[in-house]
Structure 1
Amino acid sequence: MFCTSCGAQAAAGSAFCSQCGKPLAATQSAVSLDKAGSQPMWRPGQMAEEMPDGVKGWSWGAFLLNWIWAVGNRTWIGLLAIIPYVGFLVAIWLGFKGREMAWRAGGWQNLDHFNRVQKNWSRWGVGIVLAVFVLALASAILVPVHMDDERSTVTDGTAYDDFDDILPATPGTRLERGRFNSDAVPLSASLNTSAGILKRTKDADGSYRMTVSGTPLFKGEDAQWQFPVRSFNQSNGREAILMASSGGRGNSCDTLFFFLLVDADRVSNTPLFGTCAAQGRYRQRGDAIALELPKTGGVSQILLRNGEVIEDGRTITLDKLNDPAR
């Protein structure tokens, strides 16, 4: 206890200061009674050494709700959490020191009252963060699915939205649609076709070639990176097999595509095409196949019709730069 007049330290229980002789004020006690006179009230400015056990510790409420918690607990320095970049560091600091600062701010009936209030702040903080996380996760899952469903709504006899122009509805044909992904692991190196088993084999010299029932189909420098992605059934027992291939030959693309056109007598290939994207969507109506591949600023549409590949309205001709068999 200290004298409020001269500042000298006085012995506990003394009524008068031993230095100046003036009465010692009862208000110097760190603990006073509330208005009812029944419970101690911890006042602002209480000394750190008088802080009881159970005050210090981590506060989830102060960390997660930071500036909101600071306003509710009259810890105004916590408003620094609003400042960009600095805010996260302030939130961590509030997590470690928030309970102590809130205790010093005063207004607590006792330690139990303080702990009950801080526990409620922590519960609200954790609850709000979990609710936001669940909503964000649900949005990330449901919104893209909903958007895709909106675009993929097909009524009987109506082609898929953006494919109306290049894949028109015709009587007696059914629209099939789906997705393809050349990054799917593992993609098989072989496929049963109407002409036999399509397979990638390795020669004794370490080179690769594509074969059908053991008969060499073609041998190219990209053969070791070529995989069948999906087979499309055609009329009269024919097939169109979508193949993935590395860009190769100086092309910066990781993935390009081409079709193998298979019937019982022969197998031929189309030119390479693509946007470097490894996945996309397909639509098939009859023998016509339309692909949609994402690209910078939009999508690219590829149409396979009568053995020709048309990319964004332009027919691709086979040459030494886009021939997957070379």
Structure 2
Amino acid sequence: MDENNNSNQTKKCQFCGAEIDAEAQKCKFCGEWVDKKNEDDLPQELKHFNWGAFLLNWIWGIMHKKYITLLYFPACLVPVVGPLAISIWFGVMGNRWAWNSQKWESPEQFNEVQERWVRLWIVLAIFALIIAVKMFVVLSVVGSAEV
């Protein structure tokens, strides 16, 4: 009879409110980890700004299954303030979201992965700068040519 009681026990997902099996680690409705630690359980060494989430916001969010970062696009409708404010929010919340998005081996491994996001942004920024300079030079030469 105890076996039957255990199989019928459920709990509520703290994210979507759906009834799920009491032993479930991940909600089958919203996909969030329900056995994850509370915000207070975030390791001390991870309580800092996440530059990857700030700089590559929506791309970073998709990779960490935090689709709320797609709010970046409507935020762009408010010039300057909208994208900056929402990017700061992503940076503040980034480590918590990423830590809870999957099982990490250690805080060190987590920080290593997050640092790769910053390196990626630096590479992309340098690449974009090189292309912008080349375009400027080409357009300057073409614009100054006499017809």
Common topology (TM > 0.5): yes
- Pairing partner for 1:82 from 70, 73, 96: 73
Give the secondary structure class of the aligned counterpart of 2:58: helix
- Say what the alpha-carbon RMSD is for the aligned residues: 2.8
Give the partner amino acid of 2:116. Answer: N
Please tell me whether residue 130 in structure 1 is matched to residue 121 in structure 2. Answer: no
TM-score of the superposition, structure 2-length normalised?
0.64
Percent of counterpart pairs with the same letter? Answer: 28
C-alpha change, 1:105 and 1:127, in structure 2 (3 Å) is same
User: 1:56 offset after TM fit, Å?
Assistant: 1.9
Specify the alignment match of 1:139 in structure 2. Answer: 135
- Pairing partner for 1:106 from 102, 107, 110: 102
C-alpha change, 1:137 and 1:92, in structure 2 (3 Å) is farther
Specify the alignment match of 2:114 in structure 1. Answer: 118
CA contact (8 A) 1:81 1:88 kept: no
Number of residue pairs aligned between Structure 1 and Structure 2: 115
Please tell me whether residue 54 in structure 1 is matched to residue 45 in structure 2. Answer: yes
Any unmatched runs of 5+ in structure 2? 1-8, 10-21, 24-32
Distance 1:106 1:71 in 2: 13
Specify the alignment match of 1:65 in structure 2. Answer: 56
Choose between structure 1 and 2: higher helix proportion.
Answer: 2
Question: Bigger radius of gyration, 1 or 2?
Answer: 1
Distance 2:92 2:129 in 1: 24
Any unmatched runs of 5+ in structure 1? 6-24, 28-42, 152-160, 162-326
Q: Deviations over 1:173-232 (max 9, x none)?
A: xxxxxxxxxxxxxxxxxxxxxxxxxxxxxxxxxxxxxxxxxxxxxxxxxxxxxxxxxxxx
CA contact (8 A) 1:70 1:78 kept: yes
Choose between structure 1 and 2: higher strand proportion.
Answer: 1
Q: Deviations over 1:109-161 (max 9, x none)?
A: 2212211110111110122123212321332233212332x42xxxxxxxxx4
CA contact (8 A) 1:81 1:91 kept: yes
